[in-house]
């Protein structure tokens, strides 16, 4: 496929204080074997030298441009702003998070699959997160999967192939359908966007490791796993899409499955924050927004069972309590 024949891909990197990794991210875009792309870096009022790095590259390469926010935006709002900056001529959109990078054939392979299958709205790849390869679970022969079928399978705990924005390619028309492609403020609204898009399109998958996710304590993922934002997002997507794809019995079983770890995280955070009322109020509001009530009874039962488990193993208990005191307020580098 010549440059003249290639559809335009809009590559986006929303970034806040990403100076430590931004150069590697940008270099990975410049190294793509695919030629017809625009690259927009959206600086979200960074206080380090992120803007200087981005502008230095934009000066050297005409295909790179920098948008510098005049006011700080939440992570999802900044992504939605990035989507609004896409060229009207773009046929596909590829997000590359500032602390991640993509391998040279990433865009080429994803676009080839999408071009060969017009019903495909999203394309995924294997994601290397640290030492682990994620987004596995599909048979090699499964290069295109019905969107509703993969959504149902995912909600039931089947293969999780949505990965992260860095491991996905979006058909641009899906993004342009609504005012905000990521439909709510939870940092994991990208997964919600996948479910919404797959109601009317299919999912494509390239069986190659083409994207890399960096694991570090300052990442949004590490923060979300620390405070329960990720578990809350799972519950939210289940309550939103479960009625469409699952039977009432399946929905009830999966909701129970997701709520257990959510309440465990809440217990841990309340212990670490000395029963912080503000945090508890935030959880009540968050559950209410997705149609559920916060259960103090369940919270107490969860705390009781956790306490029993600790008391049955006093040696482990002492270590856990010591570690909790030592790491109070600290965020551990982790991934899903």
CB 56 within 8 A of CB 66: no
Nearest to 3 by CA among 77, 143, 111: 111
Fold of 9-213: Spore Coat Polysaccharide Biosynthesis Protein SpsA; Chain A (3.90.550)
Q: What pLDDT score does 54 carry?
A: 98
What are the DSSP calls for 67-113, one per residue? Answer: EE-SS---HHHHHHHHHHTS-TT-SEEEE--TT-EE-TTHHHHHHHH
Instruction: Report pLDDT digits (tens) over 157-185.
Output: 998 999 999 999 999 999 999 889 999 98
Q: In the chain, where are the structural domains located?
A: 9-213, 220-326
Across-strand partners of 10?
38, 93
Q: What pLDDT score does 321 carry?
A: 53
Regarding predicted confidence, which is higher, 5 or 226?
5
Average pLDDT of span 31-55: 98
CB 242 within 8 A of CB 254: yes
d(Cα 155, Cα 238) in Å, to the nearest integer?
Answer: 7
Helix (H, G, I), strand (E, B) or coil at 283: helix
Q: Does residue 314 carry a pLDDT above 80?
A: no
Instruction: Report pLDDT digits (tens) over 61-82.
Output: 999 999 999 999 999 999 999 9
């Amino acid at each position: 496929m010549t440059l003249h024949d290639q559809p335009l891909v809009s590559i986006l990197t929303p970034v806040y204080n990403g100076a430590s990794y931004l150069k590697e991210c940008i270099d990975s875009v410049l190294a793509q074997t695919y030629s017809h792309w625009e690259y927009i870096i959206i600086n979200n009022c960074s206080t380090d030298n992120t803007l200087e790095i981005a502008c230095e590259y934009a000066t050297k390469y005409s295909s790179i441009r920098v948008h510098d926010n005049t006011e700080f935006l939440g992570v999802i709002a900044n992504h939605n702003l990035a989507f609004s900056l896409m060229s009207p001529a773009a046929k596909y959109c590829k997000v590359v998070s500032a602390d991640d990078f993509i391998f040279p054939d990433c865009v080429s392979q994803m676009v080839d699959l999408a071009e060969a299958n017009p019903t495909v709205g999203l394309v995924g790849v294997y994601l290397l997160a640290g030492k682990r390869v994620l987004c596995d679970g599909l048979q090699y022969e499964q290069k295109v999967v019905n969107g509703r079928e993969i959504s149902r399978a995912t909600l039931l705990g089947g293969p999780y192939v949505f990965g992260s924005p860095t491991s996905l390619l979006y058909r641009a028309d899906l993004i342009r359908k609504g005012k905000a492609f990521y439909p709510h403020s939870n940092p994991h609204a990208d997964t919600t966007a996948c479910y919404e898009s797959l109601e009317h399109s299919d999912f494509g998958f390239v069986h190659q490791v083409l994207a890399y996710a960096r694991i570090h304590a300052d990442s949004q993922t590490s923060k979300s796993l620390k405070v329960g934002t990720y578990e809350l997002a799972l519950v939210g997507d289940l309550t939103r899409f479960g009625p469409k794809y699952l039977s009432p019995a399946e929905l009830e079983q999966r909701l129970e499955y997701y709520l257990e770890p959510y309440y465990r995280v809440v217990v841990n955070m309340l212990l670490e924050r000395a029963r912080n009322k503000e945090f508890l109020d935030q959880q009540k509001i968050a559950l209410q927004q997705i149609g559920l009530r916060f259960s103090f009874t369940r919270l107490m039962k969860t705390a009781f069972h956790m306490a029993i488990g600790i008391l049955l193993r006093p040696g482990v208990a002492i270590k856990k309590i010591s570690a909790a005191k030592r790491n109070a307020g600290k965020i551990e580098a982790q991934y899903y």
